[in-house]
Amino acid sequence: MPDKLTPAQRGAMHLYFEHLANALNDAGLDMVKVLKPGIDIPWTKQSVKDHLYKPVLEAMTGKESTEDMSTVDPEAVYKVINKHTAEKFGISLEWPSKESQYNESKGIK
């Protein structure tokens, strides 16, 4: 069985949620346009986690919580979501590196 998620992986995962939320919002793709038609609802880091990441995690692994993920799960789930957003909406993001996480924490762009 793979090891549990590392703090660095958890940080990268949450940074990815934030970056994807910003990219979707910047592209004018609110939650409703991505999930179903209706009222415009901006994405947040938490809504990316709850409405995109966790459903894919559960479908792929049977795990309902990110707390139960192994070290191999974040990249596998990311690849599925990134492929989908790239093909459907033209949004493809790199998985956050240690360097990008450090820069973000220091406000460096």
Domain boundaries, the chain: 7-89
Model-level pTM?
A: 0.68
Q: Provide the pLDDT confidence category of residue 36 given band limits of 50, 70 and 90.
A: low
Q: 64-77 b/e with 16+ CB inside 10 Å = b?
A: eebeebeeebbeeb
| CB within 8 Å of 19: residues ≥ 6 apart | 93, 96
**CB 92, CB 85: distance < 8 Å:** yes
Q: Provide the pLDDT confidence category of residue 50 given band limits of 50, 70 and 90.
A: very high
DSSP state of 66: G
Q: Provide the pLDDT confidence category of residue 109 given band limits of 50, 70 and 90.
A: low
Place of tokens 């360097």: 99
| CB within 8 Å of 60: residues ≥ 6 apart | 73, 76, 77, 80
Angle at which helices 7-26 and 73-89 pack, to 10 degrees? 10
- Residue with the larger pLDDT of the pair 50 and 33: 50
Q: Answer yes or no: is pLDDT of 77 > 80.
A: yes
CA–CA separation, 28 and 40 (whole Å): 9
Place of tokens 């995962």: 13
How much is the pLDDT for 1? 55
How much is the pLDDT for 52? 93
